[in-house]
Amino acid sequence: MDSFIYTSLPARVVFGVGTTASLPQEVHALGITKALVLATPQQVSEAQALADLLGDAAAGIFAEAEMHTPVDVTERALAAFAALGADGIVSIGGGSTVGLGKAIALRTDAPQVVLPTSYAGSEMTPLLGQTEGGKKTTLRSLKVLPETVIYDVNYTLTLPPRMTVTSGMNAIAHAVETLYAQEANPVLSLMAEDGIAKMTRALDRVLVAPSDIAARSDALYGAWLCAVCLGAGGVALHHKLCHVLGGSFNLPHAETHTIILPHALAYNAPEIPQAMAAMRRATGAEKPAKALFRIAQSAGVPTALKDLGMPQDGIARAVEITLENPYFNPRAFERDALLQLLENAWHGNEPDA
């Protein structure tokens, strides 16, 4: 066996159905006496329910989280955090809310408890992407890693099927890149393959029966495995392109990942035979990129960047930004090939890999 390095990241995970009830105890265990509860405007009612559950341990609610973690929103949240005398963070939601909590923790070192309501996976990573001046930058710091994550399957029961698929594809992307990232190792590869298998199979079941507890549990478990992969592993071309497209063109996060993933996998396929073998086992398909594309297609979610409002004349700009600071990738970043990749993604062409 080849040599490798595996780093296990510190985090407490509470997984199950109805686990939100443990929030007061988890907050107390971290020494939090006044928690600022974070959410998006769409999830303010869920935030209020958590504040009610916490009682005197809730400092207040800040429900202005936005996708791609704009710095100006973070500054407003920091002002609220200070004004309310908060000493900890409780985040409920998907990547937008979790990102805001991380941004506050980066600047205050406040402990965090996260209750995910999607499969985004940000809660298990020491990564933070922030947007300012039309560009998204990413940093890695243990200061942003949440101390406790409460996975409550109940929150995912009402996740609409289409959103389930895009959020699930976002999760799958984390594991796919772990299979061939610079930090790839056999431990993470086991988690990645199982996470992809659990999620792809669960998505088919959820589309048929959205309230199926067993299917939702498998999906959330798969999402957790994929998130661990992202946190302890690394990223490559797929995430680089999604960061560029999201930050520069304000495209929705999960939908962008859903569209780009099959094309990025097809781009790298010739250089990653072992990862492609794992993908075939996980998806049960001879052509995994095509299989991922068809999952999105069958769910009726966007499969073309043009459907997200991406201008076709922005493709060249996206490639230039990508080439300014390329991530590690098993296949070199080739300008013409990247232009073709984004053209295919813009049109929604089915990959053949």
Length of the chain: 353
- Quote the strand ranges of 101-160, DSSP E: 112-116, 127-132, 135-140, 148-152
The reply to whether the predicted model has a pTM over 0.75 is yes
Quote the CA–CA distance of 197 and 216 in Å, as a whole number. 14
Give the DSSP H/E element, type plus range, for residue 135.
Answer: strand 135-140
Place of tokens 């799958």: 172
| For the chain, domain boundaries | 12-156, 161-347
Burial class (CB in 10 A: 0-12, 13-18, 19+), 98: buried
Identify each DSSP E strand in 153-251 by its residue range: none
Topology of domain 161-347 in CATH is Dehydroquinate synthase-like, alpha domain (1.20.1090)
Helix axis angle, 237-249 relative to 315-324, nearest 10°?
120
Kindly give the pairing relationship between strand 135-140 and strand 127-132: antiparallel
Q: Which fold would CATH assign to domain 12-156?
A: Rossmann fold (3.40.50)
Q: What is the CA radius of gyration of the chain?
A: 19
Specify the pLDDT at position 10.
85
The tokens for 159 are 């996740």
Strands 112-116 and 58-62, by their bridges, are unpaired
Residue 15 identity (one-letter amino acid): F
Residue 170 tokens read as 């976002």
Q: What is the DSSP letter of 141?
A: -
- The pLDDT, as a whole number, for residue 261 is 98
- What residues does 115 pair with on adjacent strands? 92
Structure tokens at 262: 């099959």
- Predicted confidence pLDDT, tens digits, the chain (353 residues): 678 888 888 899 999 999 999 999 999 999 999 999 999 999 999 999 999 999 999 999 999 999 889 999 999 999 999 999 999 999 999 989 999 999 999 999 999 999 999 998 999 999 898 999 878 888 989 999 999 999 999 999 989 999 999 999 999 999 999 999 999 999 999 999 999 999 999 999 999 999 999 999 999 999 999 999 988 888 999 999 999 999 899 999 899 999 999 999 999 999 999 999 999 999 999 999 999 999 999 999 999 999 999 999 999 999 999 999 899 999 999 999 999 999 999 999 999 99
Would the CATH topology of 12-156 be identical to that of 161-347?
A: no
Q: Are 256 and 243 in contact (CB under 8 A)?
A: no
DSSP code at position 338: H
